[in-house]
Structure 1
Amino acid sequence: MTKPKQTSLLATVLRQIRSKATGKNYQISIALPFAYVDDSINIAPYDKPLTAWPVVYLLDPFLFFGMITDIVRTMAWCDRTTDAIIVGIGYPEEESLRETWRKGFAARTHDLTPIQSEKSEKYNSEWLKLDVKTGGGGKFYRFIKQELIPLIDQEYRTDPEKRILAGHSHGGLFTLFAMFQEPGLFSSYISSSPSLHFAEKVMFTLESEYAKKHKKLPAQIFLSAGELEEDTEDTTLTDIYRFAALLESRNYKGFSLTKQVFLDNKHCEVPAPAFQVGLKMALMKSEARSSSPP
């Protein structure tokens, strides 16, 4: 047996980016459709390479990049959904796995939260044993919009009409936050178990402020959670039902909401089914959509 060596997913690359908006370094994980890399592959569905590909922008790739890449590629074999470019927005590797986890988790807590929360900072600083900050969501959004998306669009054959943002937990919270910043920037939003409790449920306030000024919300969103997330200290399900009802009551033009609760799933178990269903909706081919039963 040969000596072990580090492996990676097929047709994936890593890029390092220094953001002007946030002042942070990011490790960008990019997975390309097989047909993008080699259009001579002659097995379904890779015998029909696209001139432009959908792009899935994924938060917390250190947890979900492999999962999402495999889900998208595997679903495409059934020829009802389109393969896509996966762009994971993460953080550089540190000197050890432990430090990569600690510093990455601290960085994402800052980037994925829309406002400052002393309660969240205290909690995360104690268990990570780092000085954790919150409220960097605005700058992080500008990084994605002004720096990352233009770079990806410039260097890869992307379809700007099929741009998807996906996140879980704080990532799901940021996904909702981004939807209200500039709804047309992404065509679809996948928000799995969003942390709607954050900062005294500030997302409800942000939605209310948006509703006062806008009648349109051109976005397709998949909002989900696990059945077992609700208990005396966790109101995830109640919050999601309330937030979904609020969105539906606005009658926003151009808005489409699908919500789902996954039975017998806790917070850390639900990302896989949530992302699979959400990505299936977002990447469904028009001909497959029209032929699907009601």
Structure 2
Amino acid sequence: MKRLVLTLALVFGALQAQAADPAPAYPPHSIPNTLLRALPKNANGRTYQLHIHLPASFAKEPGRRYPVLYVTDGYWDFPTVVSSYNNLNYDKVVPEFITVGLGYAGDNLDYGELRNWELSPVRDNPLSDSSGNADKFLASLEKDIFPLVEREYRGDPAQRYLAGSSLGGLFTLYAMYARPDLFKGYIAASPAVVVGNDWIIGQAKAYAATGKPIKARLYVTGAENEWPAFFAGIQRYQALLPTLKHPELVYQTRVIDGERHAGTKAESYTRGMRFVFEPLAPETGKSKD
């Protein structure tokens, strides 16, 4: 009996000691070569935060400038893009480049409300300013964000690229038609073509009527299992592209089979980066033995 009491006392003492000891403080996982940069409030009252990934050679080659891929909805899509970039760069099918995810500074933010303000070029409600400000966002990129990235992180102003999904994909197409001189390549993953009753298709036709060139590469995807009406809008734009005959625009379209709206991002960005950066890729063929 005494031995049992002693054993129970030892067990109870061990449990008390475990309860008293705090759980080990393991460091959080982070993505290497990345940083967050909160910007001052701009003229439109927007406070942006940049998610920045720098190439492996950045510190070793201080005189080198790099292409930059700007990605909308950085709070969601930045990790996906960076992971794909690392794989593609290892395979030498894309060059080293900087990735800049575009997001917002602050806690407990309503991303849906924030992104609707600036990624859509069309107002949901003509009496409200809660959407339809893509022109202001594009101006902020040009006036505030490009100069910072090119001054402090050695981004190459002649090699800017833009990517986005859904409303971000719509903004990507809008930027191509509104300011075709700003970017060399565009990745529109499942773009929200249906916004404003195919408003972007009207812009595409109007631009084509001018006969002006678009000196860039464009990659446009849709997901096979999107909402049917949403997917139909993407298909209308994809079918329209060959008829527009934009001078100098090199494009590719794809339907990502088996995926829904968000599930298409990984493949869309991976294939899109490979396509738009192909002219700068160290290697474009198959692996060599």
Q: In percent, how many aligned pairs have the same letter?
A: 27
1:146 maps to 2:143 = yes
TM-score, structure 1 length as denominator?
0.82
Q: Secondary structure at the match of 1:37?
A: coil
Q: Which residue of 2 aligns with 1:42?
A: none
Q: 1:275 and 1:155, CA in 2 relative to 1: closer, same or farther beyond 3 A?
A: same
Instruction: Structure 2: state its 5+ residue gaps.
Output: 1-22
Query: Which of 253, 264, 267 pairs up with 1:259?
Result: 253
Are the equivalent residues in 2 in contact too, given 1:11–1:37 (CA < 8 A)? no
| Structure-2 residue corresponding to 1:45 | none
**How many positions carry a matched residue from both structures?**
263
1:33 alignment partner AA: P
Q: Judge conservation of contact 1:227–1:264 (CA < 8 Å) in 2.
A: yes
Report how far residue 37 of structure 1 moved: 3.0
2:88 aligned partner: 75
Report if aligned partners of 1:183, 1:217 keep a CA contact under 8 Å in 2.
Answer: yes
The one-letter amino acid of 1:212's match is: A
| Aligned position for 2:74 | 61
Paired position in structure 2 for 1:240: 234
Larger radius of gyration: 2
Match of 2:268 in 1: 274
Task: Give the 3-state SS of the residue equivalent to 2:142 in structure 1.
Answer: helix
Determine the C-alpha separation between the residues in 1 that align with 2:24 and 2:87: 30
Q: Deviations over 1:213-272 (max 9, x none)?
A: 3431222100001111143xx242x22232123232122211111000111011011000
**Compared with structure 1, are the counterparts of its residues 248 and 59 closer, same or farther at alpha carbon in structure 2 (3 Å cutoff)?**
same
| 2:113 equivalent in structure 1 | 106
Q: Distance in 2 between matches of 1:249 and 1:108?
A: 31
TM-score, L = length of structure 2:
0.84
Q: Which of 111, 123, 134 is the matching residue for 1:116?
A: 123
Partner SS for 2:248: strand
The alignment yields a C-alpha RMSD, in angstroms, of 2.3
Question: Is the 2:192–2:234 contact (alpha carbons within 8 Å) kept by the matching residues of 1?
Answer: no
How far is the alpha carbon of 1:172 from its aligned partner?
0.2
Task: Assess, with a 3 A threshold, how the Cα gap between structure 1 residues 205 and 154 changes in structure 2: closer, same or farther.
Answer: same
Query: Any idea what the Cα deviations from partners look like across 1:87-145, whole Å, max 9, x if unmatched?
Result: 01101131xxxx23xx22211111100021139x8xxxxxxxxxx81111110010011
CA distance in 2, matches of 1:217, 1:81: 22
Give, as a single letter, the amino acid of the residue that structure 2 aligns with 1:107.
L
Pairing 1:19-98 to 2, within 5 Å after superposition: 20-38=42-60, 51-94=64-107
**3-state SS of paired residue (2:181):** helix
Give yes or no for contact 1:163–1:185 (8 Å, CA) kept in 2. yes
Q: Measure the CA separation in 1 of the matches of 2:63 and 2:168.
A: 29
- Equivalent of 2:39, from 10, 13, 17? 17
The amino acid of 1:54's aligned partner reads P
Quick one: distance in 1 between partners of 2:30 and 2:226? 33
Q: CA separation of 1:170/1:288 partners in 2, compared to 1, >3 Å: closer, same or farther?
A: same
Q: List aligned pairs for 1:85-234, cutoff 5 A.
A: 85-94=98-107, 99-100=108-109, 103-118=110-125, 133-231=130-228, 234=229
For 1:6 and 1:147, the matched residues in 2 are separated by 31
Cα offset for 1:189? 0.1
Distance in 2 between the 1:6 and 1:169 partners? Answer: 30
Distance 1:218 1:74 in 2: 27
Looking at structure 2, the residues matched to 170 and 21 of structure 1 have their Cα atoms a distance apart, in angstroms, of: 23
Segments of 4+ moved more than 4 angstroms:
none
